[in-house]
Chain A
Amino acid sequence: MKKLLVLLGVGLVVALVACAAPATPVPPTATPPTEVTTITFWDYYGLAATPFTPEMIAAFEKENPSIKVKYESLDWDAMFEKLSVALTTGTPPDVATVDMTWVPTWASLGGFTDLGPLSGGKVNGAPFNEAFTAGALEAMTYEGKVVTLIEDFDVYCLYYRSDLFEEKGLEVPTTWDELVEVGQELAEDTDGDGAPDKYLYGYWPDAFRWSQFLYENGGSILNPENTEAIFNSPEGVEATQFFVDMVNEYHIAFDIGEEEAIPGIKDGRIAMFSDGPYMMGVIKDGAPELEGKWKVAPHPYSKQPGSYLGGTGLVIPVRAANKEAAWKFIEFAMRLENAIGVYKYSGAAPGLKAALESPEVSVRDPYFGDQVTLPVFLEATETARHFPYVRQWNEMYDIIGEGVTAALLEEKTVQQALDDAVAEINALLAE
């Protein structure tokens, strides 16, 4: 019995070996099958306005047959939450679009890959400092490390109803005093209640708009070391007082508030506002009937031009699984023909310097009365500053908004509102 079992066992082993090893060796295939890497890309531009078109992605995949792109479109609002969770749980995408104002929070926590070593400091052969403007490069850099490449930039300029300006014989304001004069000439009280309700300067009481007045008046949010809030300085108080006076004293400004800007633009409540180049695409889609009636100009200032500098960046999360392939994709997106797509499809301003200088984006825009619009924004980047690169920025942003709102609603004096906001932020920075 034992012998029989041994024989059976030996037979089984022989049979297995015979199956595993063919009698005649098969020659190896000429080219071993390529392993395909799939990278996940989260994009918040929206399917209708993304520069990352199916054609662009297909072209990338054709050029890189070993890489597939899994494209996922997310809302701008949803991106922050989803990416926060993904970074926390260690399951992030390989590439993502991020608002440049989110960068400090995540970069300070070590959430993004340092693109320097991955790229050798170059994008498509051009050193970063040649491919991007100095302001853009500074915004892309956190503590000496380039953590994002800017896809489109955002800087605020004045949008104004050129048809109304012509009709009323008004010049585009260049100073705050002129802004008040022009605002009062434009504003109309249609319901006779004594408060102008049409052709106003639209705003939101947020850090984006308020900081423009602060910078224009020579103020700063934080000290140069980013350790202390200083916007309750005389410059800050004066700038905020002007912002408040536009609403409560001169009655030329309209808090867009809970609505979007488009309804106010369409029904004529808004005749001027400050916003970034992305708004050109938004306004064209939202109010096509106003073609030829809007133009853009540098925002009026008191002491010096100023704006926040932001936009959209492309990042590789630090826990991304396929960093090399992700970088290849970013580099492909930064090729001139693709970077121009930011203007072509989103109506925004490309972050890549070569794309900004390209004749394809320096075109006359019939919506804006045949104005060549992008140079106006490009010029503003020279004096624009990104928001302070501190981890607490998201919370600071809300505190500033509350301070400005308290002053606008006259719940507090301007000085008191700013002092309280500064104290709260300083406590936060000290944590």
Chain B
Amino acid sequence: MEISTGRRIGLAIRKYYMAYLFILGPVVLTMVFLFIPMISSFAFSLTEWSGIQPPKFIGLANYQRLIFHDRKFIKSFINTTIFVILGQGSGPVFGLLSALALNQRVRFRAAFRTAYFLPVMTSLVVVATIWKMLYNENGLVNFLLKMVGLPTTRWLMNPSTALLSIIVTSVWQGFGFETVIFLAALQAIPKELYEAAMIDGANAWNRFRHVTLPSLRPVIVMIYIIGIIGTYQVFDQIYVMTGGGPLNNSQSIVGYLYDNFHYMKFGYASAVAYILFAILALFSYLQMRFLGREE
């Protein structure tokens, strides 16, 4: 006998009602705090809205202005992209190198692992505040440079060094996360693969090149997906250390979004958020596609 769809759903609900009950809470919370605001935010991005007076529909004008006319937004996009390239170009490499070092039979391995991971667990605001002190005119960085006779600068106030200084802080703060992930992945690589490679006469570099790296590929891709998405949303350390200055030289996309919120331009800020969303969606798609092909 054919069972109708409605009856099938009814049976499923009766059978799994406890499971549905359990997921109801998270689903409602996700709807209320994520999907509904996301949809509302898109609607606001098509308006001019101060937050207090009623929104005025202006179509795609916010997007058009941001992409074609807003030099501050373009600058914040370039800064963020530099942040991503330099941050993701160095952070995972440091993470991998330290994981390789810790994967050896070194003494105090647990202590080193904890030391590398400690900055990750520390609040980014705390880390940024400490580094701000290190970078200031009479801070440790300049003190050390003076000791060896090198020129000093006010790192966070110099347009040429501000962004780079924040990137250094961020890499220092974050690479412990990559270390731990890589270390776990390294320890999961079967020893037999290395033994077979050694029998075939592979030296250390070849073992790394042909055994370690291919085995780590899924982890590397995962780390880059998380890293790029996270870095495109960089905000806290910039807000604390430079506020985006000097002359917007360290401003990020999210920092620019925040500024527009501060100017009570909620429609425009929503459009910035959606452009960021599009950038992240594009990167995620490309990376997932790349990962899929590799697998």
Interfacial residues, chain A to chain B (CB-CB below 8 A)? 80-81, 84, 87-88, 105-106, 109-111, 255, 257-259, 267, 391-392, 394-395, 398, 402, 405-406, 409, 411
Question: Contact: B157 with A80, CB < 8 Å?
Answer: no
B-side contacts of A259, CB under 8 Å: 136-137
Question: Contact: B247 with A394, CB < 8 Å?
Answer: no
Interface centre among B50, B245, B264 (most CB of A within 10 A): B264
Interface centre among B50, B132, B135, B136 (most CB of A within 10 A): B50
B-side contacts of A110, CB under 8 Å: 52-53
A-side contacts of B264, CB under 8 Å: 84, 105, 109, 391, 394
A-B contact list, 29 entries, CB within 8 Å: A84-B51, A84-B261, A84-B262, A84-B264, A87-B51, A88-B52, A88-B266, A105-B263, A106-B52, A109-B51, A109-B52, A110-B53, A111-B52, A257-B136, A257-B137, A258-B135, A258-B136, A259-B137, A267-B138, A391-B50, A394-B262, A394-B263, A395-B263, A402-B245, A402-B247, A402-B248, A405-B245, A405-B246, A406-B247
- How far does the alpha carbon of A105 sit from the alpha carbon of B156 in the complex, in Å? 30
With contact pairs A109-B53, A110-B53 given, residues A258 and B261 touching in the complex (Cβ less than 8 Å): no
Question: Contact: B157 with A255, CB < 8 Å?
Answer: yes
Interfacial residues, chain B to chain A (CB-CB below 8 A)? 50-53, 132, 135-138, 154, 156-157, 159, 241-242, 245-248, 259, 261-264, 266
Known A88-B51, A105-B263; further 7 A-B contacts with Cβ < 8 A: A110-B52, A110-B53, A255-B157, A258-B157, A391-B50, A394-B264, A395-B263
Interface centre among B137, B154, B159 (most CB of A within 10 A): B137
Query: In the assembled complex, how far is the CB of residue A190 from the closest CB belonging to chain B, in whole angstroms?
Result: 11
Residue of A whose beta carbon sits closest to that of B51: A88
Question: Contact: A257 with B262, CB < 8 Å?
Answer: no
- How far does the alpha carbon of A88 sit from the alpha carbon of B265 in the complex, in Å? 12
* Selected contact of B156 from candidates A258, A402, A409, CB within 8 Å: A258
- How far does the alpha carbon of A110 sit from the alpha carbon of B246 in the complex, in Å? 33
Query: In the assembled complex, how far is the CB of residue B247 from the closest CB belonging to chain A, in whole angstroms?
Result: 6
Query: In the assembled complex, how far is the CB of residue B84 from the closest CB belonging to chain A, in whole angstroms?
Result: 24
* Selected contact of A411 from candidates B136, B159, B242, B263, CB within 8 Å: B159
B-side contacts of A398, CB under 8 Å: 259
Question: Contact: B262 with A81, CB < 8 Å?
Answer: yes
- How far does the alpha carbon of A255 sit from the alpha carbon of B158 in the complex, in Å? 12
* Selected contact of A258 from candidates B132, B259, B266, CB within 8 Å: B132
- How far does the alpha carbon of A111 sit from the alpha carbon of B261 in the complex, in Å? 16
Interface centre among A87, A88, A259, A409 (most CB of B within 10 A): A259
Residue of B whose beta carbon sits closest to that of A258: B156
8 tightest CB-CB pairs across the interface, nearest first?
A88-B51, A109-B52, A395-B263, A257-B157, A109-B50, A258-B156, A394-B263, A111-B52
- How far does the alpha carbon of A411 sit from the alpha carbon of B157 in the complex, in Å? 13
Question: Contact: B138 with A409, CB < 8 Å?
Answer: no
Question: Contact: B52 with A258, CB < 8 Å?
Answer: no
Question: Contact: B247 with A405, CB < 8 Å?
Answer: yes
Residue of A whose beta carbon sits closest to that of B265: A395
- How far does the alpha carbon of A111 sit from the alpha carbon of B263 in the complex, in Å? 14
Question: Contact: B263 with A258, CB < 8 Å?
Answer: no
B-side contacts of A409, CB under 8 Å: 159, 246-247
Residue of A whose beta carbon sits closest to that of B132: A258
- How far does the alpha carbon of A392 sit from the alpha carbon of B268 in the complex, in Å? 14
Residue of A whose beta carbon sits closest to that of B258: A81
B-side contacts of A87, CB under 8 Å: 51-52
Query: In the assembled complex, how far is the CB of residue A244 from the closest CB belonging to chain B, in whole angstroms?
Result: 15
- How far does the alpha carbon of A391 sit from the alpha carbon of B265 in the complex, in Å? 11
- How far does the alpha carbon of A405 sit from the alpha carbon of B154 in the complex, in Å? 14
A-side contacts of B261, CB under 8 Å: 81, 84
Residue of B whose beta carbon sits closest to that of A109: B52
Query: In the assembled complex, how far is the CB of residue B64 from the closest CB belonging to chain A, in whole angstroms?
Result: 14
Residue of B whose beta carbon sits closest to that of A396: B263
B-side contacts of A395, CB under 8 Å: 263
Residue of A whose beta carbon sits closest to that of B248: A402
- How far does the alpha carbon of A279 sit from the alpha carbon of B122 in the complex, in Å? 33
* Selected contact of B247 from candidates A84, A255, A411, CB within 8 Å: A411
Residue of B whose beta carbon sits closest to that of A80: B262
B-side contacts of A406, CB under 8 Å: 247
* Selected contact of B242 from candidates A111, A258, A267, CB within 8 Å: A258
Query: In the assembled complex, how far is the CB of residue A412 from the closest CB belonging to chain B, in whole angstroms?
Result: 10
Interface centre among B135, B138, B156, B246 (most CB of A within 10 A): B246
Query: In the assembled complex, how far is the CB of residue B156 from the closest CB belonging to chain A, in whole angstroms?
Result: 5
- How far does the alpha carbon of A411 sit from the alpha carbon of B137 in the complex, in Å? 21
- How far does the alpha carbon of A152 sit from the alpha carbon of B137 in the complex, in Å? 34
- How far does the alpha carbon of A300 sit from the alpha carbon of B242 in the complex, in Å? 31
B-side contacts of A392, CB under 8 Å: 263
- How far does the alpha carbon of A255 sit from the alpha carbon of B245 in the complex, in Å? 14
Question: Contact: B159 with A258, CB < 8 Å?
Answer: no
Question: Contact: A257 with B154, CB < 8 Å?
Answer: yes
B-side contacts of A105, CB under 8 Å: 263-264
